[in-house]
Amino acid sequence: MQETLGGQGNKLRVDVLGSFFSTIRYAYANNPGLDAAHALCQEKLSTQQQRQRARAKALEAADSHLQTFTETLANGGRIRKRHFSNIKKQLANSFHWDSEARDSLVLFLRNRGWTVVQCATEADVAIAADAVQGDIVISGDSDLFIYKHVTVVWRPVRDGGFLEYRKSDVLSALGFKSAEQLTALGVVSTNDYNHSIYGLGCETNYKILKDIDTSGSDEAKDVPTLVKEYLADERVVLKNKSKVTFNTSISVFVDLKQTPITPSHHDDAASLKTRLGDIKRRFKEACGKLTEQKRAQLASKLAAKR
């Protein structure tokens, strides 16, 4: 999503899901209609699979907590606050923003004058491909700062504020001489597309890249060259038992190429959605029984006083 900055040719580019996931989850999980959710709001193969497994695990936990809730209620036990919070927490963890809700939000935003770009891949790749000097990118996804042409990021914080990060300030603080060094650090450290080499965290990677000689040339070394020299460092060679190359991350963060994910897990997603609906229905029914039980107990107490 993008908006032209007042009086300038630069744009304010917003990674909607990366910036406002918590708000989106709350809005679309807790409102019966899409219009109400829209008003409140004013997935990489391995990552997609991890999210799918996490949703399934959350639903298993929600189902288990719901069974405890119903058994406690049936046995005349006391329903406590934790019985509710356990179920609600796992239902929130199982949230999935489906295509119907996304398409409806796109229409809602376009009707209000926003330019909305629906991306075949991750939004950050599309934003990085279009971004120019002076653009501001709003996102909670720290990966965006790895891209060379993203120079200013506003990270949303609570109460509607933002933290501003300028690449020039970050490079100065790190002592890097070029943006390519920062991109290389993002490539060889854990991101959405690969993990760091085992035993080499971000801090160690930073030290290794900072030690690479970048002097003696008028032009900065490009990212593939920096990664190649990083992999040749003896500290890395000793740890790189799996012969990691980081080619996927280079393809994404440098070449801006990402293969769209075929929705091969559609049946799984549909099954999880059906199960989520079933658990919500049963939870609602259990809450209704609890309310009836409390009313009956209150009526009994009042009758005993007469």
Identify the pLDDT of residue 172.
95
Token pair of 282 as six digits: 């049963």
Identify the pLDDT of residue 262.
56
Over 60: is that where the pLDDT of 118 sits? yes
Tell which phi-psi region holds residue 277, choosing left (phi > 0), alpha (psi between -120 and 50) or beta. Answer: alpha
Q: How much of the chain, in percent, has pLDDT values that exceed 90?
A: 46
Q: Which is more confidently placed, 131 or 101?
A: 131
Which of 83-97, 149-163, 260-274 is predicted with the least confidence, judged by mean pLDDT? 260-274
Cα separation values, 8 from 3, 4, 5, 133, 135, Å: 11, 7, 6, 12, 10
Confidence of residue 133 (pLDDT cuts 50, 70, 90): confident
Tell which phi-psi region holds residue 211, choosing left (phi > 0), alpha (psi between -120 and 50) or beta. Answer: alpha
Identify the pLDDT of residue 5.
56
Cα separation values, 217 from 213, 220, 221, 222, 264, Å: 10, 7, 8, 12, 48
User: Average of pLDDT values for 143-162?
Assistant: 88
Identify the pLDDT of residue 43.
40
Q: Name beta bridge partners: 165.
A: 153
Cα separation values, 209 from 118, 133, 202, 277, Å: 36, 25, 10, 49
Q: Where are the beta strands (DSSP E) in the chain?
A: 2-4, 11-14, 136-138, 152-156, 162-166
Confidence of residue 122 (pLDDT cuts 50, 70, 90): confident
Tell me the average pLDDT of the chain: 83
DSSP 191: -
Q: Please report how the helices 34-41 and 16-30 are oriented relative to each other, as an axis angle in degrees rounded to 10.
A: 140
Q: How far apart are CA 177 and CA 160, in angstroms?
A: 34
Which of 38-52, 65-79, 192-206, 225-239 is predicted with the least confidence, judged by mean pLDDT? 38-52
User: Average of pLDDT values for 206-234?
Assistant: 87
Q: How many other C-beta atoms are found inside a 10 Å radius of the C-beta of residue 80?
A: 11
Identify the pLDDT of residue 23.
61
Confidence of residue 243 (pLDDT cuts 50, 70, 90): very high
Number of C-alpha atoms within 13 angstroms, CB side, residue 53? 6
pLDDT in tens, 25-75: 655 666 556 555 444 444 445 666 777 888 899 999 999 999 999 999 999
User: Average of pLDDT values for 202-226?
Assistant: 85
Identify the pLDDT of residue 37.
46
User: Average of pLDDT values for 102-118?
Assistant: 85
Contact criterion met (CB below 8 Å) for 15 and 139 = yes
